[in-house]
């Protein structure tokens, strides 16, 4: 069988890589396709194409840009069968989850096209009219991760385009193929150069963050890489939006329906095999219900089907790549060495081929354990017992991360606890709902800036003030000129 080779999208053309790299199916360890490995010359060409396309795109009426971005949405839906199969093959997630990922891209094209940057009147006095508009930045470099490759890429692309920027998008080298295929499908729907998609290995990201032709980097990935992005972008004072890692805590109070809440938090912790930035990564459960809650979680873990995402009935796929698999295994090994008690995981069977890890639940490890302190980004969950709410809040906040958190219990009490948790989003009696009109972003070392809604749109703009004197011929100090 021939292995399909994918292309970059540069200046409206599908461009082959001078060389390619293999993209591996994490469930079968087979090659899914060959991705182009961008050279510096190809990056320069993509940036130059985006730069050349910028003035005309910026000068289009907002309504025209909105209509063009809204029209992209239909392409995702029209090709969903092909796209979800490709995404499952390269990412590992079950087909239904792949569909959600792709349709999130579609949805954000639609939603972003409904946003309008405000025009603010700062002063309208006898002396002057001062107005703020939000103008595009220029060329945006968008860098996406491998866990939700399409949804998170189009969280960036769609608002950046609506705001009037042109874009160079880089998918993760672990999951570039579906993004490249979508780029090919969208090719004729936008003027050449407005959206460019480049795939490459480890060198391409740093080339982008240091490239003088990019005006902003919108980055989603780990906190460690986010620091490098910010450092590199500083040389040319690029704007940055950084959506980084998390170590989300959930606090479960007595009085909840244990079966119902356990089911929701089970999905929040293990969905996408734990590879979600806002996965529940530390689960604090009140002593009064801890044992019943633990039993419910274990029962769910032990009956869930883990396997190739392409197979009917699979609920949880593999870890997406070998390096992440090794990281999660290392955390599990550390817990074993420390003598933590495993409620389930160690003996559960998973497919031998592929990077599979059983759903693993650890019973009340100490607060300073690595599995509590570090972002696991995999299907391993520490259950933590508490009997004093103040202590649970202090422990939940005792982290450099601040992406999300959730509280479960009587609404009034839970809402008061939510006020005290340090995170960009705190859910009460729900989790992981992302409102398209609410800003999504991290506090502390989980990020800088936000995505989605008007806040997200404005991150792709500079405020520009026009101040018009109403008294003709008067200078700034009021003197006659």
Binding footprint of ligand NAD on the chain (CB under 6 A): 143-147, 152, 170, 172-173, 205-206, 209, 220-222, 225, 228-229, 243-246, 277, 375, 377, 403, 442, 447
Give the shortest CB-455-to-ligand NAD separation in angstroms: 14
Nearer to ligand NAD, 164 or 173 (CB): 173
Q: Is the Cα dihedral 379, 380, 383, 389 positive or negative? A: negative
> Which pair of structure tokens corresponds to residue 196?
């460019």
Residues in contact with 419: Cβ distance below 8 Å, sequence separation at least 6, in sequence order:
none
Give the active site residue among 90, 243, 375, 451. Answer: 243
C-alpha span between 266 and 268 (Å, rounded): 5
> Which pair of structure tokens corresponds to residue 130?
């001062």
Q: Is the Cα dihedral 56, 62, 64, 65 positive or negative? A: positive
Give the shortest CB-380-to-ligand NAD separation in angstroms: 15
> Which pair of structure tokens corresponds to residue 20?
């390619």
Q: Report yes or no: 105 and 79 within 8 Å, Cβ to Cβ.
A: no
Give the shortest CB-316-to-ligand NAD separation in angstroms: 17
C-alpha span between 207 and 389 (Å, rounded): 47
Give the shortest CB-63-to-ligand NAD separation in angstroms: 29
Give the shortest CB-303-to-ligand NAD separation in angstroms: 27
Query: Active-site residue 277, yes or no?
Result: yes
Nearer to ligand NAD, 379 or 447 (CB): 447
Give the shortest CB-111-to-ligand NAD separation in angstroms: 16
> Which pair of structure tokens corresponds to residue 89?
């093959």
Query: Which residue's Cβ lies closest to ligand NAD?
Result: 205
Nearer to ligand NAD, 218 or 364 (CB): 218
Query: Active-site residue 14, yes or no?
Result: no
Run of H or E residues at 122: strand 120-124
Nearer to ligand NAD, 133 or 443 (CB): 443
C-alpha span between 171 and 347 (Å, rounded): 36
DSSP letters for 321-361? SHHHHHHHHHHHHHHHHTTPEEEESTT----SSSS----EE
DSSP letters for 412-435? HHHHHHHHHS-SSEEEES--S---
Nearer to ligand NAD, 142 or 362 (CB): 142
Nearer to ligand NAD, 66 or 280 (CB): 280
C-alpha span between 275 and 351 (Å, rounded): 19
Give the active site residue among 90, 109, 277, 459. Answer: 277
Active site residues: 243, 277
């Amino acid at each position: 069988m021939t292995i399909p080779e994918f292309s970059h999208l540069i200046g409206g053309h599908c461009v082959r890589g001078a060389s390619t790299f293999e993209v591996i199916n994490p469930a079968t360890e087979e090659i899914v396709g060959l991705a182009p490995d961008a050279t510096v010359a190809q990056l320069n060409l993509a940036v130059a194409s985006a730069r050349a396309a910028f003035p005309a795109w910026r000068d289009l009426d907002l309504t025209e840009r909105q209509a063009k971005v809204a029209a992209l949405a239909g392409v995702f839906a029209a090709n969903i069968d092909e796209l979800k199969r490709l995404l499952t093959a390269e990412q590992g997630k079950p087909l239904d989850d792949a569909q959600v990922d792709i349709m999130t891209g579609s949805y954000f094209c639609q939603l972003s096209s409904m946003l309008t940057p405000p025009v603010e009147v700062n002063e309208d006095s006898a002396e002057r009219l001062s107005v703020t508009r939000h103008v595009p930045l220029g060329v945006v470099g968008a860098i996406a991760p491998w866990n939700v490759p399409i949804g998170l890429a189009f969280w960036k692309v769609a608002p950046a385009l609506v705001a009037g920027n042109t874009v160079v998008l880089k998918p993760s080298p672990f999951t570039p193929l579906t993004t490249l295929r979508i780029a090919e499908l969208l090719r004729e729907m936008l003027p050449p150069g407005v959206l460019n998609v480049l795939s490459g290995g480890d060198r391409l990201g740093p080339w982008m963050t240091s490239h003088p032709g990019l005006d902003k980097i919108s980055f989603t990935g780990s906190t460690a890489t986010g620091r490098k992005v910010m450092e590199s972008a500083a040389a040319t004072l690029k704007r940055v939006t950084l959506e980084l890692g998390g170590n989300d805590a959930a606090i479960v109070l007595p009085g909840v329906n244990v079966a119902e809440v356990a089911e929701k938090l089970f999905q929040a912790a293990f969905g996408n095999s734990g590879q979600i930035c806002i996965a529940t990564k530390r689960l604090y459960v009140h002593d009064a219900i801890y044992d019943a809650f633990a039993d419910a979680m274990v029962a769910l873990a032990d009956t869930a089907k883990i396997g190739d995402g392409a197979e009917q009935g699979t609920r949880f796929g593999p870890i997406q790549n070998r390096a992440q698999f090794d990281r999660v295994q290392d955390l599990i090994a550390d817990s074993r060495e420390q003598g933590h008690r495993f409620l389930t995981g160690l003996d559960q069977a998973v497919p031998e081929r592929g990077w599979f890890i059983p759903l693993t639940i650890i019973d009340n490890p100490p607060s300073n354990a690595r599995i509590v302190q570090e972002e696991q980004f995999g299907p391993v969950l520490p259950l933590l017992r508490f009997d004093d709410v103040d202590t649970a809040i202090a422990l939940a906040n005792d982290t450099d991360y601040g992406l999300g958190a959730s509280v479960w219990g009587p609404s009034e009490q839970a809402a008061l606890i939510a006020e005290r948790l340090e995170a960009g989003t705190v859910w009460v009696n729900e989790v992981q709902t992302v409102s398209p009109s609410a800003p999504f972003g991290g506090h502390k070392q989980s990020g800088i800036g936000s995505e989605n809604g008007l806040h997200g749109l404005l991150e792709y703009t500079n405020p520009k003030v026009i101040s018009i004197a109403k008294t003709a011929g008067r200078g700034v100090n009021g003197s006659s000129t």
